[in-house]
Amino acid sequence: MASLDYEKAQRILEEILPQSELALIQDSHPRLNPRLVHAVHTIFSSKTQAYREVLLGCTVAKILDESINIRQPYVSQGPRAFSGRTLDEKVINPFLHDKRIPASRGPYLSVFRRSIQFDLTTRAGLRDQEGYDALLTLLEHLESIAKPSNLTNFLECLFLYFLKLREKSTVPLYRPQRLSLNQYEAVISSLLATPSGGRLPVIMVVSAFKTIKNFFELERWNISWQGINVADKAAGVSGDVTITVHDKTVLAVEVTERAIDRSRIVATFNTKIAPGGIEDYLFFLKNPDLSEDIREQSQKYFAQGHEMNFVNIKDWILMTLVTVGNRGREIFLREVLELLEEPGMPQFIKVAWNEQLSKIIG
């Protein structure tokens, strides 16, 4: 019997899932030959959830120990067999449920007869034989993978399809009644560190601006923002967030997770600030440690009547929450939840919110 390290299995899943989430954000699809693509689509459209959970478990098992016979999920079946049920109960099933990925309520082996092998001898007693044939095709491919890196790539591919299933589902939001300032700092820090294709920073910044508007009763403020990865020119706005009063831009904001250089500053001025006559442009950055050439260039624009400033995202949001007090922090929480509930919001964003709230509140 092969002995598996279940803690390592958990770590593997925790490490690989974010990579698949990033691929989903970027709409990056793995390259598979047409035969495998058809099999993957078949198994992930099957009503028998156990098939895809078997495939996930077998993939993890082979990553843990390449000598395992992934066709034998019962320890009594031979020296290279493994306990598929234990792996599922301890790692696979809890992980899928914890990440809000649609999955079976019980161990996947419960849908099969006892002591079955994943081969053609099992096919006759199954209702969804087409789905099972797809599973066998993918297990055969899994057995042919020799390089550890290729096994990891295959796992990333599987997760991408699991995540697509989650995007079709509805993830209920964790709705705390209130958070302390220390809890806000922990949540915001964690969310800003979560890969989201820029969505989470924009959600936090927009919520803070809406809080300022509501708290200080700035009725003339009109706050508009755009979807992530939508070109500014195509969207017809000056930045990720634009604040206008009577159609006049009073503040344009760009929220970026990436480091910026002088060329980025020049391009922003030439394509947004100068054509729009924007007097106040604000960069929200994760780390506003600016080079000297950026400071010199922004000072030149200041002399021309265009002020360009740079601020740390987390620090600004926290200072805003300090300024508006308890009532304002309640407004901020409400605004965040409203944005998270907007139609089209990716489910993984909601999962990230839930996970961070669970960590600090329990």
CA angle 71-134-28, nearest 5°?
110
Tokens at residue 140, please? 């055969």
**Does the pLDDT at position 362 exceed 50?**
yes
Q: How confident is the model at residue 165 (pLDDT cuts 50, 70, 90)?
A: very high
* Contact yes or no for 6/87 (Cβ under 8 A): yes
Assign 73 to helix, strand or coil.
Answer: coil
Burial track 25-48 (b if 16+ CB lie within 10 A, e otherwise): beeeebeeeeebeebbebbbebeb
Q: Above pLDDT 90, what percent of the chain?
A: 78
Query: In this structure, how many other beta carbons lie within 10 angstroms of the beta carbon of residue 263?
Result: 11
Query: What was the pLDDT predicted at 232?
Result: 40
44 sits in which H/E element: helix 34-45
**Does the pLDDT at position 236 exceed 70?**
no
Q: What is the mean pLDDT of residues 324-347?
A: 95
Tokens at residue 240, please? 């990720």
In the chain, where the domains are located: 6-167, 181-361
In this structure, are strands 241-245 and 280-285 parallel, antiparallel, or unpaired?
Answer: unpaired
Beta strands in 239-344 (DSSP E): 241-245, 248-256, 280-285, 307-312
By C-alpha distance, which of 154, 161, 160 is closest to 62? 154
Sheet strand arrangement including 280-285? 222-225, 241-245, 248-256, 280-285, 307-312
Query: What was the pLDDT predicted at 22?
Result: 87
Query: What was the pLDDT predicted at 234?
Result: 40
Q: What is the mean pLDDT of residues 16-26?
A: 90
Assign 193 to helix, strand or coil.
Answer: coil
Query: What was the pLDDT predicted at 327?
Result: 97
Burial class (CB in 10 A: 0-12, 13-18, 19+), 108: buried
- Of the listed ranges 175-184, 218-227, 235-244, 247-256, the one predicted with least confidence: 235-244
Q: What is the mean pLDDT of residues 72-83?
A: 93
pTM of the model: 0.86
Distance CA 29, CA 10 (A): 24
**Does the pLDDT at position 166 exceed 90?**
yes
Query: What was the pLDDT predicted at 26?
Result: 83
**Does the pLDDT at position 130 exceed 90?**
yes
Query: What was the pLDDT predicted at 228?
Result: 46
Q: What is the mean pLDDT of residues 99-112?
A: 85
Q: What is the pLDDT of residues 241-297, one digit of tens each?
A: 999 999 899 999 999 988 899 999 999 999 999 998 999 999 999 888 888 999 999
Query: What was the pLDDT predicted at 74?
Result: 92
60 sits in which H/E element: helix 49-64
Does domain 181-361 correspond to CATH entry 3.40.1350?
yes
